[in-house]
Structure 1
Amino acid sequence: MAPRFGTSGLRGLVTELTPDLVSAYVRAFLRACPQGAGLYLGHDLRPSSPALAGVVAEAARHAGVPVTDCGALPTPALALAARRAGARAVMVTGSHIPADRNGLKFYGPGGEISKADEAAILSGLGEPLPPRTPPAPLACDASAGEAWVHRYVTAFGPEALTGLRIGVWSHSAVSRDLLLAALRALGAAAVVELGRSTAFVPVDTEAVPEGVRARIKAWTAEHRLDALISTDGDGDRPLLADACGQIVPGDLLGQITAALVGAETVVTPVSSNTGVEAGGRFRRVIRTRIGSPFVIAAMEEAGGRSVGYEANGGFLLGFDAHLEGPLPQLPTRDSLLPLLAPLSLAQAAGGLAALVGREPARFTAADRLEGVPDGKAQALVAEFGASPEELAGFLAILGEEIRSLDRTDGLRATCASGRIVHIRPSGNAPEMRLYVEAETPAAARDLLERGLRKLELTLMRMTLETNSG
């Protein structure tokens, strides 16, 4: 996987993220986004992350930019600290991808960088090295993670989770200790830590394997949990399971959270389920391409009481809300708010499953085929897009008939049955992603599994045709 720069920042194999390459991106970022009082720096728990953070710090300091090292902490905690300080930020993380890969996420003082910022960074990569100057100051701030937790204790109140038994699947998430602290500070009756790992575990909250789902179900039964929570590796995507171990899809978390904070405009990518429109709770719903920069751009244009969320559950708060206490805006992808919002409502609703059951009956499922080169993934989408017969044949094998086609991001087919099949190359990894929507969770999982098998066979056929040609 050659290093790539896109909506999730810079990502690549650790062996290819050389000091020269990382330093070049940091310098280009600092030139493209010159505003801000210094640079805040954080990293996840991958073995390669501390050393890469050191490279980032050295590059920034020799560019004359003071660095505040926040150590290991969740991405939204770093973004919050930088926002409060009026500083830029770099998070060293590969998010949910395996430990042999890593990356950098870039933030301006207001939050994540825009698509225009990305273009400026790429155009500035070839500029000559600046004269080497004495390094700017280096400071440390170990309080940024605690401030992230305190933000939500203030907003929800210390009794928000009273009576709940909640498990925390810690694995190797950099958020794990802060999740435990937050639940206790919010009054949970019992907090049970599960599955802490010393080795890095890649967790994609949008595509949880069946083996992990079975483990979560076993944990919730064994420990008599009301819910179980976790995040991905860098703590900006949530994972929430109910008392039966059923994982609540991220877009449902987004709908529930948006309603709780009093949003009027909801911005979400085309991959999120259509229940947000069907519920009729929001004045306006805006659909975008997949990726938080697109969501943020649409939120900024909408203004007012706008929020954003993705199908992976990451939630962006675009205005100052008030729950039990103040909740200032944080327009960057966050995991803790969409975990706490449904948990705080669960008991009054008769349990988390009952709360989720009140949402419109539209359910998404998503997964990916790994190791699919970007060129091959793009070729498949192009083939289906150019040939309606090919796409219709693919859907017919799944028992579906196309009604309409959305090309906003990949190919998103709405079927005559009302189900949705969405095919898209990954924007940051050699993967082909498949998103589906159906009327029940079981129907969505079945459609997803059959669709993945057919996609795999189609890709194999394309490979054979290429090789024979």
Structure 2
Amino acid sequence: MKNKVKFGTSGIRGLVSDMTDKVCYAYTLAFLDYLRSINAIHAGHTVGIGGDLRSSTPRIMNAVAAAVIDAGYQPVNCGLLPTPALTLYGISQSIPTIMVTGSHIPDDRNGIKFNKPEGEVLKQDEQGILAQDPMLNNALFNDQSLFKEDYLPAFNPLAEQQYITRYLDFFPENALAGLRLGVYQHSSVARDLLPTILSGLGAEVLPLGRADHFISVDTEAIREEDILLARQWSEQYALDCIISTDGDADRPLVSDEHGEWLRGDVAGILVAQFLQLDAVATPVSSNSAVEKSASFAQVLRTRIGSPYVISAMQSISDAKKIGGYEANGGFLLNTSVSLGAKQLAALPTRDAVIVPLCILLAAQKAKLSIAALLKTLPERYTFSDRIKDFATELSQSVLAKIQTGQLSDDAAVFSNLFSGQLEPAVSFNFTDGVRVTLANDEIVHLRGSGNAPELRCYTEAGSYVRAQALNELCIQQMHRWKVTYA
């Protein structure tokens, strides 16, 4: 049977029905075999395992643990916790870790993220994993399912405790005193951890919207009901900010005092400014205010996906304080940073919790509300949306029509695809998909999703209303493509 579970922008993803015990066991075994081949793991080593709140996660964690044991290692059950908390634990213990999560995608899908002892696997590591050919021990299986359900040992709370302590120790005591903060809990794996950190720093915390089933929260394509809920809660409870995350808490949602969610790529700029970074890496889809702000000596643009941001950060050799962020809001710290006499250790993986903490403290330091703090950045606004069930092959075909390699031809094809409804194209960036700068300095960026059959559209303009209108126009045309070119 053909394996339908593949590597996406970060880790493997697939339908739960395809992520059988046997498939998850095999991928884990291949990962461990790869680590052995590069001398990153040795006999008797421990391997940390964690997961999110999806209904399928406990079963997959058990399959992962079975592979760890069968390979001769010891699984550590770090429980249900944020992906960055598990990664931090692995880095501090110099051990590999494996996170079972589908991040923001629906509950009928799941995934596995693999971390080496120093952090996330990168694209070259993915190829090394796929090159392995693990021999499955069929004695463990009844067809695609494991015979046993208890390969995972008892819960070890150290990883979660270490992550909480990371922020309580770094930020000043009572740094958030006087603030009234809402935590939109839904089914985020950080829904109890976030209030612990925020209240530990002195804030008054109101838990909101706790769910008894998994909710797919995508911080790049926020659901209309979540937009309305944030505005309602902000007014009802007089909140200074509402904070949430996606399913595995590596992507944040942060609102201003009016309940308006901040764009992740704008939030990333504010965090990088607060931490006084010298150099920043961010995907090509991020808001161009990062360059226009002139806050950083170096800005590197990458393909979309944390492995590319990490590789770019690692390539910077002439800066002392280096970080990165993505349009989804996840923030990565490649070097340690200081706040007064305290230091925050590097955590080169997407993290959600650092984002609201830095933004709240930056606003306090400037004696501004979050909405006013946003206005200190250049006036550039982004909007993103997607068309679901847009076949990967179809999106590749449509985008390939534009990439002729000659600006005049590219511009003509682009104009034709949009029926002349947009300003003329003056430059193209093919780093990841097709990012087009128009004659009026507006931007349209089209790309196929790396995790699902979707075509995404990112737009940027001088006002939010215009960025949204431009995006709606593009989405309408993309719907036509789906019919025309299918």
TM-score tier by shorter-chain length is over 0.9
User: What's the counterpart of residue 186 of structure 2?
Assistant: 171
Instruction: Report the 3-state secondary structure (helix = DSSP H, G, I; strand = E; otherwise coil) of the residue aligned with 2:480.
Output: helix
How many residue pairs get matched? 460
Question: Among residues 395, 400, 404, which one is paired with 2:423 in the alignment?
Answer: 400
User: What's the counterpart of residue 231 of structure 1?
Assistant: 245
Q: Deviations over 1:64-120 (max 9, x none)?
A: 011111110000011111111111011000000000000100001111101111001
* Cα contact 1:365–1:444 (8 A) shared by 2: yes
User: What's the counterpart of residue 135 of structure 2?
Assistant: 128
**Separation in 2 of the partners of 1:197 and 1:351?**
30
* Cα contact 2:170–2:344 (8 A) shared by 1: yes
User: What's the counterpart of residue 466 of structure 1?
Assistant: none
Q: Which amino acid aligns with 2:51?
A: H
**Separation in 1 of the partners of 2:388 and 2:152?**
42
User: What's the counterpart of residue 93 of structure 1?
Assistant: 101
Question: Offset of 1:237 from its aligned partner?
Answer: 0.1
5+ residue gaps in structure 2?
141-149
User: What's the counterpart of residue 446 of structure 1?
Assistant: 469
Question: Offset of 1:155 from its aligned partner?
Answer: 1.3
Question: Among residues 293, 298, 307, which one is paired with 1:279 in the alignment?
Answer: 293
* Cα contact 1:398–1:447 (8 A) shared by 2: no
User: What's the counterpart of residue 245 of structure 1?
Assistant: 259
Q: Which amino acid aligns with 2:387?
A: L
**Separation in 1 of the partners of 2:170 and 2:237?**
29
User: What's the counterpart of residue 384 of structure 2?
Assistant: 366
* Cα contact 2:65–2:152 (8 A) shared by 1: no
User: What's the counterpart of residue 44 of structure 1?
Assistant: 52
Query: Matches of residues 329-340 of structure 1 in structure 2 within 5 Å?
Result: 329-340=346-357
User: What's the counterpart of residue 467 of structure 1?
Assistant: none
* Cα contact 1:7–1:115 (8 A) shared by 2: no
Question: Offset of 1:284 from its aligned partner?
Answer: 0.6
Instruction: Report the 3-state secondary structure (helix = DSSP H, G, I; strand = E; otherwise coil) of the residue aligned with 2:485.
Output: helix
Question: Among residues 450, 454, 464, which one is paired with 1:427 in the alignment?
Answer: 450
TM (normalized to structure 1)?
A: 0.94
Q: Which amino acid aligns with 2:357?
A: L
* Cα contact 2:330–2:351 (8 A) shared by 1: yes
Matched, 1:144 2:162: no
**Separation in 2 of the partners of 1:33 and 1:262?**
35
Kindly report the root-mean-square deviation, in angstroms, between the aligned alpha carbons of the 2 structures.
1.9
User: What's the counterpart of residue 321 of structure 2?
Assistant: 305
Instruction: Report the 3-state secondary structure (helix = DSSP H, G, I; strand = E; otherwise coil) of the residue aligned with 1:149.
Output: helix
**Separation in 2 of the partners of 1:406 and 1:120?**
29
Question: Among residues 61, 72, 91, which one is paired with 1:53 in the alignment?
Answer: 61
Q: Which amino acid aligns with 2:135?
A: P
Structure-2 change in CA distance of 1:107 and 1:455 (3 Å): same
User: What's the counterpart of residue 351 of structure 1?
Assistant: 369
TM (normalized to structure 2)?
A: 0.91
User: What's the counterpart of residue 109 of structure 1?
Assistant: 117
Question: Offset of 1:423 from its aligned partner?
Answer: 0.4
Question: Offset of 1:221 from its aligned partner?
Answer: 0.7
Query: Matches of residues 13-52 of structure 1 in structure 2 within 5 Å?
Result: 13-34=15-36, 35-36=40-41, 37-52=45-60
**Separation in 1 of the partners of 2:417 and 2:172?**
51
* Cα contact 2:33–2:134 (8 A) shared by 1: no
Question: Among residues 285, 303, 306, which one is paired with 1:289 in the alignment?
Answer: 303
Deviates more, 1:203-212 or 1:95-104: 203-212
5+ residue gaps in structure 1?
464-469
Instruction: Report the 3-state secondary structure (helix = DSSP H, G, I; strand = E; otherwise coil) of the residue aligned with 1:385.
Output: coil
Q: Which amino acid aligns with 1:435?
A: Y
* Cα contact 2:415–2:422 (8 A) shared by 1: no
Q: Deviations over 1:368-395 (max 9, x none)?
A: 1111111111111112324633311345
Deviates more, 1:337-346 or 1:99-108: 337-346
**Separation in 2 of the partners of 1:329 and 1:132?**
42
User: What's the counterpart of residue 478 of structure 2?
Assistant: 455
Instruction: Report the 3-state secondary structure (helix = DSSP H, G, I; strand = E; otherwise coil) of the residue aligned with 1:26.
Output: helix
* Cα contact 1:278–1:360 (8 A) shared by 2: yes
User: What's the counterpart of residue 186 of structure 1?
Assistant: 201
Instruction: Report the 3-state secondary structure (helix = DSSP H, G, I; strand = E; otherwise coil) of the residue aligned with 1:205.
Output: coil
Matched, 1:318 2:328: no
Instruction: Report the 3-state secondary structure (helix = DSSP H, G, I; strand = E; otherwise coil) of the residue aligned with 1:412.
Output: strand
**Separation in 1 of the partners of 2:151 and 2:475?**
51
**Separation in 2 of the partners of 1:161 and 1:197?**
26
Q: Which amino acid aligns with 1:101?
A: R
Question: Offset of 1:130 from its aligned partner?
Answer: 6.9
**Separation in 2 of the partners of 1:441 and 1:166?**
25
Instruction: Report the 3-state secondary structure (helix = DSSP H, G, I; strand = E; otherwise coil) of the residue aligned with 1:436.
Output: strand
User: What's the counterpart of residue 434 of structure 2?
Assistant: 411
Matched, 1:156 2:171: yes
Q: Deviations over 1:419-466 (max 9, x none)?
A: 110000001111111111111222211211221111111111112xxx
User: What's the counterpart of residue 143 of structure 2?
Assistant: none
Q: Deviations over 1:395-426 (max 9, x none)?
A: 56543221101111110000111111000000
Question: Among residues 42, 49, 73, which one is paired with 2:81 in the alignment?
Answer: 73
* Cα contact 1:44–1:233 (8 A) shared by 2: yes
Question: Offset of 1:344 from its aligned partner?
Answer: 1.2
Structure-2 change in CA distance of 1:398 and 1:242 (3 Å): farther
Q: Which amino acid aligns with 2:113?
A: K
Question: Offset of 1:127 from its aligned partner?
Answer: 3.9
**Separation in 1 of the partners of 2:192 and 2:343?**
24
Deviates more, 1:356-365 or 1:282-291: 356-365
* Cα contact 2:66–2:152 (8 A) shared by 1: no
